[in-house]
Amino acid sequence: MDPEFVPVILAFVGTFLILVATTMGCVLFVRFVASRWSTAVRTVLAAFSAIIVMYLPMSFVAFDGQTGGQADEIWMFLFLIAGVSFVVAWLVSYVATARLDRLTEFDAKEFL
């Protein structure tokens, strides 16, 4: 393997791990804030909020002082990255929301 390629792989793996952790946090936040909404709505809301939390600070830094064609290229890159990341965030939020719903389900038979 080319030694110049190793930092690129580490950057992708690190971004993936941060995205998974951010999505899990957003699943918990959405569960407590919007607990009465359906599971499907909470899943999509958690995935979108994870993408926003991950890439909104990056977009502020990327657009600092950029004008014209450079801004268009940055928008294209951010939408491409956000689209790929949404797939990962949706899968993580789907599994985490389903499991969290099962774990927090109240069953009165346990107390009888």
Those residues with Cβ within 8 angstroms of residue 98's Cβ, 6 or more apart along the chain or in another chain: 39
Cα 15 to Cα 26, 46, 74, 89, distances in angstroms: 16, 18, 18, 12
Q: For residue 108, what pLDDT is reported?
A: 67
- pLDDT for 58-68, tens place per residue? 887 777 776 66
Does 34 have pLDDT greater than 80? yes
10 contacts 82 by C-beta, under 8 angstroms: no
In angstroms, the CA 32 to CA 46 distance is 12
Whether the predicted pLDDT of 10 surpasses 70: yes
Predicted confidence band of residue 19 (pLDDT cuts 50, 70, 90): very high
Q: Cα–chain-centroid distance for residue 89?
A: 4
Q: Which of 18, 17, 26, 22 lies closest to 97 in space, CA to CA?
A: 26
Query: What whole-number distance in Å separates Cα of residue 77 and Cα of residue 39?
Result: 31
Say if residue 1's pLDDT is above 80: no
In the structure, what pLDDT confidence band is assigned to residue 94 with cuts at 50, 70 and 90?
very high
**Residues 46-55 pLDDT 10s:** 999 999 998 8
